[in-house]
Amino acid sequence: MPFLGQDWRSPGWRWVKTEDGWKRCESFSPALENGNNQLNDIGHAVILTGNDEDEELYSTEDCEFAAKKRKKDHFRNNADSQRFYREKWIYVHKESTKERHGYCTLGEAFNRLDFSSAIQDIRRFNYVVKLLQLIAKSQLTSLSGAAQKNYFSILDKIVQKVMEDQYNPRLIKDLLQDLSSTLCILIRGVGKSVLVGNINIWICRLETVLLWQQQLQNLQMNKQVNNGLTLSDLPVHMLNNILHRFSDGWDIITLGQVSPTLYMLSEDRQLWKKLCQYHFPEKQFCRHLISSEKGHIDWKLMYFALEKYYPIKEQYGDTLHFCRHCSILFWKDTGHPCTASDPNTCLMPVSPQHFIDLFKF
């Protein structure tokens, strides 16, 4: 008869099949063995001093319980003992089998992929923020209670990182704006929406989001005191090359406020034309042509007009990857146990929107 549900052999341990059944192999340190011997001696002493069979049986069970607890505490507290590795990848399964029941949920994936560590990596920071923004817009109620706690915990770390490092506050402001709007709708329509948790918890979360928004609104950029070479000291052609590397129009405008030279370069028509051509196909230009007073196409206004109607291309330093061979979602540098002969040919980068779509059934 096939077994159903999780493997009773507790995955993570090493098991050996014997004539009497499956036996678990454990590796003990000398300190643990000495501790077990002491417990056994105590147990035997208690047994020897017992007067009847009931007391002897009770003492034996106590001894076994104490020994098991000592082993558990030893593995938990001893830094030199065997550690169990928690994988930072997840198998995306959409079908139930006899060996595996249920589906991989968005909340489960959110908890397993270690986004708390990912936000400390500047290559992944924007990716995680964009993913949290998409979840805030449409998938917040799809998260389990544990995943929701993890979501707001990661969001708290992001806000604190921005407050300390002052890194990309505009991106976080957009995320908090979408999240506060969603929370207002959910709390107002609590009778129609499915909320995991008490309504007071959601009100408290909304108040926290509003507090974060106020903190970011009052954020003051620290002026860097540097007597060495600055951005304004670079040649004009190098400054122009830097501006052409930007893929976000708002970043170009912000950089143009640094100095008069950068402002002049940020108003270049060719710069905005290339930006429009990068993000939008040519057929979309014809629908939203905007001319300047001189009769030329105003590419800067064109970019922001097109941005309202069409999504722009997203660029990230690092993204999650999906293995088509193993159906596993993972960070590329952590890897996964792939069985393909050439794993690199099976990898596919996953955008934040694709991540959400993977868990829509």
pLDDT at 37: 52
pLDDT at 32 over 60: no
156-173: burial string, b at 16+ Cβ within 10 Å, e else? eebbebbeeeeebbebbb
pLDDT bin (cut points 50, 70, 90) of residue 1 is very low
- Mean pLDDT, residues 140-150 taken together: 85
Of the listed ranges 36-45, 62-71, 210-219, 270-279, the least confidently predicted one is: 36-45
**Burial (Cβ within 10 Å: 0-12, 13-18, ≥19) of residue 271:** buried
pLDDT at 39: 42
Mean pLDDT of the chain: 75
Share of the chain above pLDDT 70, in %: 68
pLDDT at 175: 92
Pick the closest to residue 172 from 139, 217, 202 (CA basis): 217
Identity of the highest mean pLDDT range in 12-21, 186-195, 343-352: 343-352
Of the listed ranges 100-114, 258-272, 347-361, the least confidently predicted one is: 100-114
pLDDT per residue as tens digits for the range 68-77 = 555 555 445 4
pLDDT bin (cut points 50, 70, 90) of residue 159 is very high
| 313 vs 162, higher pLDDT | 162
Of the listed ranges 53-62, 113-122, 128-137, 188-197, the least confidently predicted one is: 53-62
pLDDT bin (cut points 50, 70, 90) of residue 138 is confident
Instruction: Provide the residue count of the chain.
Output: 361
Query: Residue 146 corresponds to which tokens in the numbers above?
Result: 């544990």
289-321: burial string, b at 16+ Cβ within 10 Å, e else? eeeeeeeebbbbebbebbbeeeebeeebebbbb
pLDDT per residue as tens digits for the range 193-249 = 567 777 788 888 899 999 999 999 888 776 666 667 777 788 899 999 989 888 888
pLDDT at 333 over 70: yes
Q: At what angle do helices 122-134 and 169-188 cross, to 10 degrees?
A: 20
pLDDT at 261 over 50: yes
pTM of the model as a whole: 0.66
Pick the closest to residue 213 from 139, 249, 163 (CA basis): 163
pLDDT at 347 over 60: yes
pLDDT at 100: 56
DSSP string, 181-202: HHHHHHHHTTTTS--SS-HHHH
**Burial (Cβ within 10 Å: 0-12, 13-18, ≥19) of residue 143:** buried
pLDDT at 323 over 70: yes
| 27 vs 113, higher pLDDT | 113
pLDDT at 65: 52
